Every structure is written in C-alpha cells, then in structure tokens.
Structure 1
C-alpha cells in the first residue's frame, strides 16, 4: 500500500499494489473508505463528507497522469 497524499491530518489517498481493476485509489481515514476512479474521478464505492470527496478529487485530478502511470506499473 502506498500513501500518495495526506490531508486534514487524518485522510489519505492510497494506491494499493495488490488491488484489482479498474484503476482506482482509496480515500481512507477518519472512518471513511472510498474508492475513486482514476479514469473518471467518480466515487466507485463508499461514502464521505462531500467536502472531503471534492478535496480528494481535486488532488487526484491534478496528479491523474502520474497515478495512472503508477497503476500501470503495478498492473501491466
């Protein structure tokens, strides 16, 4: 598991090396576990406060290319 970003002292965006398609990251911490699509940035599973989701989506959008490259390295 690789934490790519931490924010608000309790939330993390993680790319899990032993995961499953489709390409996604996990938003965890503070009692949430949300999967965000790396292709569409939409919530795939889970729930979290909308402000937290939006902050995570903004960070993922800004780093989407690198995150997709990282995903492809784990899942060629």
Structure 2
C-alpha cells in the first residue's frame, strides 16, 4: 500500500482499487484502523484515542487531497503525498 503521509509516528496509506466508502488506512505502534474520511469515522480497527484525534484532524484539513488520491487510486494511478500534521 502506498504511503501518502507520515506524522507523529502515524503512517497513512491508501490502497489501489479499494472498496467503498472512500477511506484510508492509519497505522500506529502496531494498531491499525480504516478511516472513512468523508464522515470522519472509523470503519474497522482501532487507534489509541490521542492518535485517532490527530488522524481525524489531519483528514479534515486534507479532505480534498484525500478525495483526489482516492480517485487516483481507483484508476490505479500514482498517489500524491499529503503534508503531515505539523
């Protein structure tokens, strides 16, 4: 899975041709979650509370870029890196 961002030890990836709804994968310290970035909710898995808050804040800031990457991924095109949470 291509990495699209990395911040505070949280790795964000997106799969090509992944199932709907639009989402990304977040991984921190061995824990993983699928995040629906349109609705700001966890679809599957879990992250520690603090890291989940950071991921959801990042997703809200970068919603348009995430959607662009989702569309690229659906067509098997290379994905763009997205700026980390600073």
TM-score interval w.r.t. the shorter chain?
0.7 to 0.9
Matched, 1:37 2:51: no
How many pairs are equivalent? Answer: 75
Normalised by the size of structure 1, how large is the TM-score?
Answer: 0.86
| CA positional deviation for 1:73 | 2.2
Partner of residue 82, structure 2: none
Partner of residue 72, structure 1: 71
Normalised by the size of structure 2, how large is the TM-score?
Answer: 0.77
| CA positional deviation for 1:58 | 0.7
CA RMSD of aligned residues (A): 1.4
Runs of 4 or more above 4 Å deviation? none
Structure 2 residue runs of 5 or longer lacking an equivalent are: 76-86
